[in-house]
Structure 1
Amino acid sequence: MKVAVILPCYNEELTIGKVIDDFRKELPEATIYVYDNNSKDRTMEVAKQHGAIVKKEFRQGKGNVVCSMFRDIEADIYVMADGDDTYPAEFVHNLIEPIKTGEADMVIGDRHTNGTYSKENKRAFHNFGNHFVKSLINKLFKASLSDIMSGYRVFNRKFVKNMPVLSTGFEIETEMSIHALDKNFLIKEIPIEYRDRPEGSYSKLNTFSDGIKVLKTVFWLFKDFKPLVFFTFVALCLFIVGLIVGVPVILEFIDAHYIKKVPSAILSGSLMILSTLSLSCGFILDTIVKQHKQNYAMFLNRYEG
């Protein structure tokens, strides 16, 4: 099987050389690709010196890099990691094995099960955000994943070539997890160790802005993948508010056979109409989504990797 190690990079001059050497030691038969995302340091030069195939992605954002990697690179097994030396290369054999045996289409390097992520990562809000997003997605998709946002993953060709990458930034891992859950791909998690960046290297993640992007991604993907649940919730909220506004109007009419609170009556009626429309949209979109899933399943059946 042809193995490709794909490393998206942005200003990783200090670490990328070691990451390339570590993966070459573990996978001497693999081809190592480094996609530079407009780095302002010597990332490209160092990567070339260490023997990687270096390409440049001019569209800023990790999602854009992953999109180009998935479309450009031809392989049977794809190993994706970061260029910051936070994911130990020695775990790659454990991650590849389920792909080779057909047990999984995507294998996730789970940073949380053995507790090393919470110990090594000094940013408390990152830990909180990871657990919050994980709990939310697991609840929405009735899953039991431990690490939704890990950047250490291994894929087979079928997953890579049939993954529509829509995210442009660091929310790409969340999108891949949701896509795999929704399209019923086989997912397996393998516990790994996580280590913080070495001294002198700094993270490009912004806890709040990137956290908001991830939550927005979850919100919109929830709407797209689970429209009936989403619009039923919206309809229920509108119905409750309309009921709260409308009950005094109904009681007034029962008591006096006359309505003085005309604005409240209009508002309540409008909210009830919007609630009905929201529920109708949910049913219509749910039918469309189910049809899309059927078409996607038929496409996968015809796919030849």
Structure 2
Amino acid sequence: MGAQYVMKVAVLIPCYNEELTIDKVVRDWRKALPEATVYVYDNNSRDNTALIAKKAGAIVRRETRQGKGNVIRSMFRDVDADIYVMIDGDDTYPASAARTLMQPILENEADMVIGDRLSNGSYSAENKRPLHDFGNRMVRSLINRLFDSNLRDIMTGYRIFNRRFAKTMPIKSEGFEIETEMTLHALDKNFRIVEIPIDYRDRPEGSVSKLNTFRDGIRVLKTVFRIFKDYRPLAFFTAVALIFFVLGLIVGIPVISEFISTHQIAKIPSAILAVGLMILATNSLTCGFILDTIVSQHRDEYELMLNQHAWQHPLFEEKERIHW
């Protein structure tokens, strides 16, 4: 028999100007998961984040493209592991919950585990930015309606992934909307999601959030809109077609009524506009059907790619000899 396969765990910490908290974060995670490798990706910090993280025992790398999405993309590409733990460097998420969150991954019950800040009320109690709480609720409602799901925390930064998810997710976002994109991707591709409540704590005094309520809120909504269009094209273009159809009726009904009464059409511009709106409605619906077929084929290809990726990993070849 060959050597036992030892699971590799990577703790991924994207950082931008976190010198006040990064030392504690790295040390907490090295203590909570001594078998894991802690990676800190410095995203053009103007302080001593990278130096402090290295002294605390983390492997420090640099990502020059600004934005959390760009950092996560590089992390998933560069780091080879079986379990990926993604947290922030601001000391808001408890390292003590790591093993609890990892359990569904280890037992093959989940592809992504979400650290849920909202269920126990800790986020609302600790967070000093009420508009962020409102934004979380609004985006959660939109996504749950769109994908017929029942997730509680869409935008948490505390997540754990298996290798299959991390290595096959196409990351398009550049900024803080990356968490929303991960959730949407998992829902659309039928990855298994498990949510576990955690205690959230606000940033310590002197640490400044990089989030901007309105700018990042608009980015998140744009991401939801793009995902709706890209992954639910039939529903999206049916909605667009319905709008054109209703407008066409509003403009066209007086023309039809006039023709029935007088057998003549005096409102030529209205008639042309009504016909144009109806053509747009028909075209939108046709586009929806065509794109829905393409998306369905893409999902089939993605499933085949996942299967191929799974069999290429040594974990599946030696799964009866895993040592943890």
TM-score band, normalised by the shorter chain? over 0.9
Q: Deviations over 1:134-153 (max 9, x none)?
A: 01001000111000101000
Aligned match of 1:202: 208
Mark the runs of 5 or more structure 1 residues left unpaired by the alignment. none
Choose the corresponding residue for 2:194, options 182, 188, 193.
188
Choose the corresponding residue for 1:108, options 107, 114, 138.
114
Aligned match of 2:4: none
Give the C-alpha shift of residue 88 in structure 1. 0.8
| Alpha-carbon distance between aligned partners in 2 of 1:92 and 1:36, rounded to the nearest angstrom | 22
Instruction: Output aligned runs, 1:18-57, within 5 Å.
Output: 18-57=24-63
Mark the runs of 5 or more structure 2 residues left unpaired by the alignment. 1-6, 314-324
Q: Give the structure-1-normalised TM-score.
A: 0.99
Q: Does 1:162 align with 2:173?
A: no
Q: Deviations over 1:77-132 (max 9, x none)?
A: 11000000000110111110110000000000000010000111111110010010
| Alpha-carbon distance between aligned partners in 2 of 1:215 and 1:158, rounded to the nearest angstrom | 27
Q: Deviations over 1:206-265 (max 9, x none)?
A: 000100000000001110000000000000010001100000000001111111111111
Aligned match of 2:317: none
Q: Does 1:144 align with 2:150?
A: yes
Alignment RMSD? 0.5
Q: Does 1:261 align with 2:267?
A: yes
| Alpha-carbon distance between aligned partners in 2 of 1:195 and 1:264, rounded to the nearest angstrom | 59
| Alpha-carbon distance between aligned partners in 1 of 2:235 and 2:245, rounded to the nearest angstrom | 15
Report how many aligned residue pairs link the two structures. 305
Give the counterpart letter for 1:5 in structure 2.
Answer: V
Q: Deviations over 1:152-191 (max 9, x none)?
A: 0000001000010110000000000010011111110010
Give the C-alpha shift of residue 299 in structure 1. 1.0
| Alpha-carbon distance between aligned partners in 2 of 1:164 and 1:77, rounded to the nearest angstrom | 18
Give the counterpart letter for 2:270 in structure 1.
Answer: S
Instruction: Output aligned runs, 1:217-296, within 5 Å.
Output: 217-296=223-302
Indicate the percent of aligned positions where both proteins have the same amino acid. Answer: 68
Give the C-alpha shift of residue 302 in structure 1. 1.4
Give the counterpart letter for 1:199 in structure 2.
Answer: E
Give the C-alpha shift of residue 301 in structure 1. 1.3
Consecutive aligned runs of 4 or more in structure 1 exceeding 4 Å deviation: none
